[in-house]
Structure 1
């Protein structure tokens, strides 16, 4: 009698873990060894495994890090929760989640200042059937627009990067071969060993080899083919900075050129202002009340710190004397407050500045302000800022890029723009390796390495390799099953 209510709570939480495909996890597993998808689903289990009724749940992109097979289980669990008389609001880009919803609200038409309007709202099945002339999302859902258009696969430059005998975590002596000069997708269910193989083994070894990094890769036997690579770039979703002073302009190096420009103006020379005057890290030109942050931090002790706009400079970061220097009627603070799109037009006569801005535009960040604090950027935006930084550099044609789920938080139209950028890199002879679940990106890959067949102890092996057409022939691959469904839906 005493244990019955406790057992009920335990079983409800365990059932949710089972329903989202986490049956392979041990309950004493260390949290730091969990993949991103596993961690998110455990957090979801904490919240909705209680099976409360009459609640409003708001989920922000729950499909992040989930394989399509896991996503189907998640959708089924959310529907069960809805059937208990709960309301569930999901902010989402995933096609299957959107199509499974009862009601759809689409915002747009674009991002940033070009958005903020409701483009379509109503029962999902009606909107999918009837469409909306204004909704970009419905254009993609109804296949009027496509993320990926069929084209010939690249076969690479004739060389490959080979990793042998990887045994870290759940890997079972994996031998990996990546054709150089291709867009290669690493796929598999959550917990199948993708991160262990790529991020924890191969990338860490390459970082140690090329940059004398102190990180220790997971166990493996050998790596061959390094003579065909001269540069390694890992683009992850870690923040580009942890203070309001870090922003896209400083991270990409764009701000250096802007400060140089303002220091060369006649007004600056007349006043004796050097480049340092226009830095918010130097005392001479910045607002001393907020030390160039534009914000003041209020410590809340046991609660997260609160940032409020500086009441001296009103968020402009600089003192009045520095703001008196104008270029085309704009102070340096006004420039930092411009979106990438606005700045690209404003600096039309400055090729060095425009090159940096163009790379940000190409990765779909035209709506972001160039001085936007790094602390307010999402993981997906931070990753694209990093990608833009690399794009603005001169390519060697022998670089290998590693990206971990770059489509996180991206709309179909943004994914299309991202693929265009990645394909340009590969067309120059570079290699791009993506750990990804997005079926549009997987279809666009030249080469796929699929891990599995399951997660945890049921995974850790390569179950299929080849082009998307090759992968679809494998019966043991869960990715192949959903790839076939996607192509059949596309064909119909």
Structure 2
């Protein structure tokens, strides 16, 4: 019994006290699975080990984050080294040493701009992180908040999972944050009830909402959109440029260049889904798959196109000195500068820039993108 209690305490200490023991592993979030692995390592009592964690605080309430940090400190105090990739301020404040990368994202990064103790990072002139940790820069708090458009969406009698028959109002036309400790019912309300109602009643989708009594205010809405962390594509051909329809505009631009018109090239010529323009050796993937009988399949760079995805004739068409493959190899910031005089393209690139994706390459394969 003592061993069982100790093991359960490890799970509690990493902020997983809300999970039921029969919860299936495939229903766990990435962060929950990572913290379960952490709890198992704390219980092992190993010494002289290097532990690496990738953003373990994602989605955690400050109360649960404090408990997680204490678990990491306990792991260190057992005689181990703990390396955490993290943006969380509390984690940085607790760290013995900080290694700060920059100075920018993507091709403008890749350097260590500062490293040392918290005090040293705060003083580092090149460190964006240090500017915020020292208070030289901060996130501005709005001087006033919107009151909305006077309309509201109301869910009454929400009783799904651990929700206690609650009534919740969402004032429309506002920015609403739903918060609370892990397992308190946030996802049950927003994802399992609210989204399922919107999807069923406005989008005519499938699915059944969790238990609730009544919803008021749907007549004020046209549709609902769920922006989740599911993959935007599952094949190497899918990428940020295709997902936001940016590649359509770029292909149209290349098809309208003088050299393209002379050769009779249409926009489809610049798609790696169409045989006429793509490299047929790899079918536009830029890589070929090696099937391994007893191991996972391997993707190796195509020896014909050398990863460029297109055939030689297609790559001869250039805009401002760059062919279509070189454009797909640009990150968002580089593309903004390259297409600065093409408003339709700039508009779509600006949207990616505004959500902090300057560093992502236009042709980066969707399966390599993180959920965020």
Q: Same fold (TM over 0.5)?
A: yes
Partner of 2:259: 267
Counterpart Cα distance in 1 of 2:69 and 2:190: 28
- Matching residue within 99, 109, 115 for 2:109: 115
After TM superposition, the structure 1 = structure 2 runs for residues 230-249 of structure 1, keeping only pairs within 5 Å, are 230-249=222-241
- Matching residue within 16, 25, 34 for 2:10: 16
TM-score using structure 1 length: 0.72
Mapped contact 2:31–2:56 kept (Cα < 8 A): no
Counterpart Cα distance in 1 of 2:172 and 2:205: 23
Counterpart Cα distance in 2 of 1:123 and 1:262: 51
Q: What 5-or-longer segments of structure 1 have no aligned partner?
A: 381-492
> Deviation at 1:33?
5.1
- Matching residue within 133, 149, 152 for 1:157: 149
1:80 and 2:74 correspond: yes
Residues 237-246 or 142-151, more deviating: 142-151
Counterpart Cα distance in 1 of 2:300 and 2:72: 37
Mapped contact 2:15–2:65 kept (Cα < 8 A): no
Counterpart Cα distance in 1 of 2:89 and 2:96: 14
Residues 171-224 of structure 1, C-alpha deviations (whole Å, 9 max, x = no match): 111211111111100001111111111011111110112221112221222221
Partner of 1:459: none
- Matching residue within 127, 131, 139 for 2:120: 127
* 1:327/1:22 CA distance change after superposition, 3 Å: closer
1:64 and 2:64 correspond: no
Counterpart Cα distance in 1 of 2:323 and 2:143: 47
> Deviation at 1:305?
3.2
Counterpart Cα distance in 2 of 1:168 and 1:112: 43
1:289 and 2:281 correspond: yes
Mapped contact 1:243–1:374 kept (Cα < 8 A): yes
Residues 218-263 of structure 1, C-alpha deviations (whole Å, 9 max, x = no match): 1222221122222322111111111111111000000011111111
Mapped contact 2:287–2:299 kept (Cα < 8 A): yes
Mapped contact 1:249–1:255 kept (Cα < 8 A): yes
Counterpart Cα distance in 2 of 1:23 and 1:277: 55
1:93 and 2:87 correspond: yes
- Matching residue within 209, 213, 216 for 2:208: 216
Paired residue secondary structure (1:235)? coil
Counterpart Cα distance in 2 of 1:39 and 1:200: 21
Mapped contact 2:152–2:217 kept (Cα < 8 A): yes
Counterpart Cα distance in 1 of 2:213 and 2:26: 25
* 1:171/1:31 CA distance change after superposition, 3 Å: farther
Partner of 1:104: 98
* 1:29/1:121 CA distance change after superposition, 3 Å: same
1:250 and 2:245 correspond: no
1:184 and 2:176 correspond: yes
> Deviation at 1:11?
4.8
Counterpart Cα distance in 1 of 2:28 and 2:357: 30
Paired residue secondary structure (2:350)? helix
* 1:275/1:33 CA distance change after superposition, 3 Å: closer
Residues 58-67 or 295-304, more deviating: 295-304
Residues 402-461 of structure 1, C-alpha deviations (whole Å, 9 max, x = no match): xxxxxxxxxxxxxxxxxxxxxxxxxxxxxxxxxxxxxxxxxxxxxxxxxxxxxxxxxxxx
> Deviation at 1:12?
4.4
* 1:375/1:36 CA distance change after superposition, 3 Å: closer
Paired residue secondary structure (1:13)? helix
Residues 333-356 of structure 1, C-alpha deviations (whole Å, 9 max, x = no match): 111111111111111221111110
> Deviation at 1:275?
1.6
Bigger RCO (CA 8 Å, 6+ sep): 1
Counterpart Cα distance in 1 of 2:91 and 2:105: 21
Counterpart Cα distance in 2 of 1:377 and 1:37: 16
Paired residue secondary structure (1:49)? helix
Q: What 5-or-longer segments of structure 2 have no aligned partner?
A: none
Mapped contact 1:35–1:191 kept (Cα < 8 A): no
Partner of 1:413: none
Mapped contact 2:18–2:182 kept (Cα < 8 A): no
Mapped contact 1:56–1:89 kept (Cα < 8 A): yes
> Deviation at 1:36?
5.7
Counterpart Cα distance in 2 of 1:12 and 1:82: 19
Partner of 1:388: none
RMSD: 1.8
Partner of 1:170: 162
> Deviation at 1:24?
4.2
Aligned residues: 372
Paired residue secondary structure (2:327)? helix
Counterpart Cα distance in 2 of 1:217 and 1:35: 20
> Deviation at 1:322?
1.0
Residues 294-347 of structure 1, C-alpha deviations (whole Å, 9 max, x = no match): 122233455443322111101110011111112222111111111111111111
Counterpart Cα distance in 2 of 1:164 and 1:300: 55
1:342 and 2:334 correspond: yes
Counterpart Cα distance in 2 of 1:26 and 1:231: 34
TM-score using structure 2 length: 0.95
Mapped contact 2:288–2:302 kept (Cα < 8 A): yes
Partner of 1:454: none
* 1:212/1:58 CA distance change after superposition, 3 Å: same
